[in-house]
Amino acid sequence: MVAFIIRRFIQSLFVMFVVALVSFAMFQFIGDPVNQMVGIETSLAERAALRERLGLNDPIYVQFWHYIVNAVSGDFGLSYQHKRPVADMLLERLPATLELSLVSALFSLIVGIPMGVYTGLNRDGFLAKLFLTISLIGISLPTFLIGILLIFVFSVMMANAPPIPVFDLFTIYPSALQLPSFGRGTTVDIGSWRTGLLTTDGLKALIMPSITLGLFQLTLIMRLVRSEMLEVLRTDYIKFARARGLANRAINFGHALKNTLVPVITITGLQVGSIIAFAIITETVFQWPGMGQMFLLAVQNVDIPIMAAYLMLIAFFFVVINLIVDMLYYVVDPRLRVDAGKVSGHG
Amino acid sequence: MTMASPLLQVRNLVVEFPTRRGALTAVDDVSFDIAEGEVLGVVGESGAGKSLTGAAIIGLLEPPGRVASGEIILEGRRIDTLSYEQMRRIRGKQIGAIFQDPLTSLNPLYSVGRQLTETILTHTDMTPTKARDRAIELLTEVGIPAPERRIDQYPHQFSGGMRQRVVIALALCVNPRLVVADEPTTALDVSIQAQIIALLKKLCREHGTAIMLVTHDMGVIAETADRVAVMYAGRIAEIGPVREVIKNAKHPYTHGLMGSIPAVGHDAERLEQIPGSMPRLTDIPTGCAFNRRCLHVHERCFKDRPDALPVEDSRVACWLYDSANAMSLDEAKRAVASKETGSVEQANV
């Protein structure tokens, strides 16, 4: 186990090295950074001085070495546009993206797994077929459209709809269901971490963006759990568990679901990475002040240090998540814990 | 006749698979009894309906298969009409089951001990600690060395034979009255098969458990069973005491089946074989299902389906033994034993 983790760790370092190489290459190939930083009236001598000061005249491998050393110590350079350290800017916006990603990942797991189990068990049930049909929408509609539709229904329509009386008993006020359509709402600072999870306002602001971001993952997880359940329910050990008279609950949620977990963990791990990386669109639709939004602005302004640092950060998340996923395999599947004991002889 | 009522009674069991072109009858009008502590062997070719009969008894026919008619009565209680939940309480507690492949019968993600204790806890009021003690006891009983250590190991840490021992322990863990063993040794090494069968037989004798042993291995049947039912195309061709059926087969199919078994030491003869093959479910002929391959067919075999006729200690579904038949019993038996063809010519191989 320890040897395995060390091996994976070394592999991860290698992956990070390659990503660093790619993000460093951006500085070399996407325009001349000096041109991005100076005005039209800057003289050639000043430009040369700046070039020298930035170390752009050094050989490439020396520059790359400096880049890596700086990156490891958390220094990703100054933003061309904002003239502020990129690391600070990313850290400011990291909590917004991570909270959004976390909530939407939880949403897709907590809703997706039970729906997958249900549709797997009641293959021909009406509700199962309904879930599957609706899930097609989740897979085929683009994220931004879902976001815009949600805003239209819960922010625009709800705000303007008149109260609906129900048989003189009570009245439904649609405006009470109205959800904020942009920003994070009220946030609280805990140290340098700006959280929206502690206020009702902040939580409310999270609802629509997380659903938008998590809907695709939800349908993916639901369909994956469903097909894995169908697969596992056909196996001999499930048949034997039934022959032993175990309760359905124990069979479905103990024996069957646990055996579907390895592929589910794999896909969830990859998807959490994607959620963080592809929060860009959702953040843009909901004006969410996260890293994705900052990245888009950086692309528009060819702010290479931000783009490079963002690339490295996302790669880092992927690597860490994959490492966690590999360790979870060990927790779930005893067959991988080879050192736990030896296989006995015939008998 | 005042006999103690048998442990299990199967009466006119019909198992069907509905298809778009009508229902396929996979088990057709099968009746037999199993007495307390008795070992009933069920033999037949693949597709003869022997496993489905077992699955119907434990109530685990895979949909769309279903019991279309007939009755299954366990200890005087009809069980084929019970709900899934009621039947679940019988499975494991009163009827144990053992399946073909021990490598896939155990959940790979749970330790052997956990699978044993959860079965024990499902059917009894034992405390978890007592259930664990019982599990260790069971592992000792099925001959697993160092059970205190092995109990916390996972199935992949056991060999095939050891796993089948664990499966037997699981099937017997709350002392069921009947065990349905569906080809329990087919997936195992020949050298281990005998051990497993001996173990199963010993444990069931000690606990007074009856066994319905489904197999296509006549050797296993000869060693183990008290009585044997020979199935062909979803029907019972012959059922009787094991010595009678093996030494003195009455149904032409059984006779052919016995002739096709190689015996060590009889190397001079060529093995006999039954011409043709078992009809598919969609293509079962009217009359006797065996009529196309039988060496002794006559007109009636193509028209009427033979009843299970009592012949000596057996019941045989063959018109040769009908009292309306011109042949006497001895003549009929001689005719089956001889290799001469009957009234209808058959291409012999």
Domain boundaries, chain A: 2-30+74-336
Using a CB-CB distance cutoff of 8 angstroms, which residues of chain B are in contact with residue A334?
108-109, 111, 154, 156
ipTM over 0.90: no
Contact at CB, A341 and B153, closer than 8 angstroms: yes
pLDDT given at position B4 = 64
Q: Give CA–CA dist B252/B291, Å, rounded.
A: 10
Q: Which span out of A144-148, A191-195, B140-144, B334-338 was modeled with the highest average pLDDT?
A: B140-144
Q: Give CA–CA dist B284/B234, Å, rounded.
A: 10
What pLDDT band is residue B236 in, cutting at 50, 70 and 90?
very high
Token pair 């012999």 is found at B348
Q: What is the pLDDT of residues B148-163, one digit of tens each?
A: 999 999 999 999 889 9
Per-window interface: B 129-148 vs A, CB < 8 A:
143-145
What CATH number should be reported for the domain whose range is A2-30+74-336?
1.10.3720.10
Q: Please, what's the b/e burial string for B143-168 (b: 16 or more CB within 10 A of its CB; e: otherwise)?
A: bbeebeebbebbbbbbbbbbbbbbbb
Residue of chain A nearest B176, judged by CA positions: A244
Among B76, B90, B57, B97, which Cα is nearest to B6's?
A: B76
pLDDT given at position B222 = 87
pLDDT given at position B150 = 93
Contact at CB, A242 and B88, closer than 8 angstroms: yes
Q: What is the pLDDT of residues A121-137, one digit of tens each?
A: 988 889 999 988 888 88
Across the interface, which of A245, A255, A259 has its CB nearest the CB of B93?
A: A245
Among B170, B106, B98, which Cα is nearest to A335's?
A: B106
Across the interface, which of B118, B153, B191 has its CB nearest the CB of A250?
A: B118
Q: Does B160 touch chain A (CB under 8 A)?
A: yes
DSSP letter for each residue of A211-271: HHHHHHHHHHHHHHHHHHHHHHHTSHHHHHHHHTT--HHIIIIIIIHHHHHHHHHHHHHHH
Task: Please give the average per-residue pLDDT across A56-70, as a whole number.
Answer: 86
Across the interface, which of B89, B170, B192 has its CB nearest the CB of A346?
A: B192
Contact at CB, A240 and B97, closer than 8 angstroms: yes
pLDDT given at position B347 = 36
Contact at CB, B88 and A248, closer than 8 angstroms: yes
Contact at CB, A236 and B105, closer than 8 angstroms: yes
pLDDT over 70, % of chain B: 92
Q: Does B176 touch chain A (CB under 8 A)?
A: no
Using a CB-CB distance cutoff of 8 angstroms, which residues of chain B are in contact with residue A260?
none
- Is residue B278's pLDDT more than 50? yes
Q: Which span out of A176-190, A267-281, B121-135 was modeled with the highest average pLDDT?
A: B121-135
Using a CB-CB distance cutoff of 8 angstroms, which residues of chain B are in contact with residue A342?
157
- CB pairs < 8 Å spanning A and B: 109
pLDDT given at position B265 = 65
Shortest Cα–Cα distance, A108 to chain B (Å): 25
- Is residue A344's pLDDT more than 70? no
pLDDT given at position A338 = 62
- Is residue B268's pLDDT more than 60? no
Contact at CB, A341 and B89, closer than 8 angstroms: no
Q: Give CA–CA dist B104/A231, Å, rounded.
A: 14
Using a CB-CB distance cutoff of 8 angstroms, which residues of chain A are in contact with residue B148?
none
For chain B, list the domains and their CATH numbers: 8-230 (3.40.50.300), 248-337 (no CATH)
Contact at CB, B192 and A347, closer than 8 angstroms: yes
Shortest Cα–Cα distance, A347 to chain B (Å): 6
Instruction: Report strand pairing: B210-214 vs B39-43.
Output: parallel
Across the interface, which of B58, B109, B123 has its CB nearest the CB of A333?
A: B109
pLDDT given at position B339 = 60
Predicted TM-score (pTM) of the model is 0.80
Across the interface, which of B154, B156, B170 has its CB nearest the CB of A244?
A: B170
Q: What is the pLDDT of residues A88-112, one digit of tens each?
A: 998 888 999 999 999 999 999 999 9
pLDDT over 90, % of chain A: 24
Higher pLDDT, A155 or A317: A317
Contact at CB, A334 and B92, closer than 8 angstroms: no
- Is residue A347's pLDDT more than 60? no
Residue of chain B nearest A234, judged by CA positions: B62
Q: Does B88 touch chain A (CB under 8 A)?
A: yes
Per-window interface: B 103-132 vs A, CB < 8 A:
104-111, 118-119, 122-123
pLDDT given at position B326 = 60
DSSP letter for each residue of B224-282: H-SEEEEEETTEEEEEEEHHHHHHS--SHHHHHHHHTS--TT--SSPPP--SS-PPPGG
Task: Please give the average per-residue pLDDT across A274-301, as a whole number.
Answer: 88
Contact at CB, B91 and A241, closer than 8 angstroms: no
Contact at CB, A332 and B109, closer than 8 angstroms: yes
pLDDT given at position A185 = 77
Angle at the Cα of B262 from the Cα atoms of B336 and B223, rounded to 5 degrees: 90
Instruction: Work out the mean pLDDT of chain A and round it to a whole number.
Output: 85
pLDDT given at position B136 = 94
What pLDDT band is residue B341 in, cutting at 50, 70 and 90?
low
Task: Please give the average per-residue pLDDT across B214-223, as a whole number.
Answer: 87
| DSSP tally for chain B: helices H, then strands E | 13, 12
Instruction: Work out the mean pLDDT of chain B and round it to a whole number.
Output: 86
pLDDT given at position B110 = 93
- Is residue A116's pLDDT more than 50? yes
Q: What is the pLDDT of residues A162-182, one digit of tens each?
A: 777 777 777 777 777 777 777
Across the interface, which of B93, B99, B111 has its CB nearest the CB of A236?
A: B99
Q: Which span out of A18-32, B35-49, B331-345 was modeled with the highest average pLDDT?
A: B35-49
- Is residue B1's pLDDT more than 50? no
Contact at CB, A245 and B122, closer than 8 angstroms: yes
- Is residue B101's pLDDT more than 70? yes
Q: Are B87 and B79 in contact (CB under 8 A)?
A: yes
What pLDDT band is residue B62 in, cutting at 50, 70 and 90?
confident
Contact at CB, B119 and A242, closer than 8 angstroms: no
Among B189, B190, B184, which Cα is nearest to B169's?
A: B184
pLDDT over 90, % of chain B: 44
Higher pLDDT, A138 or A347: A138
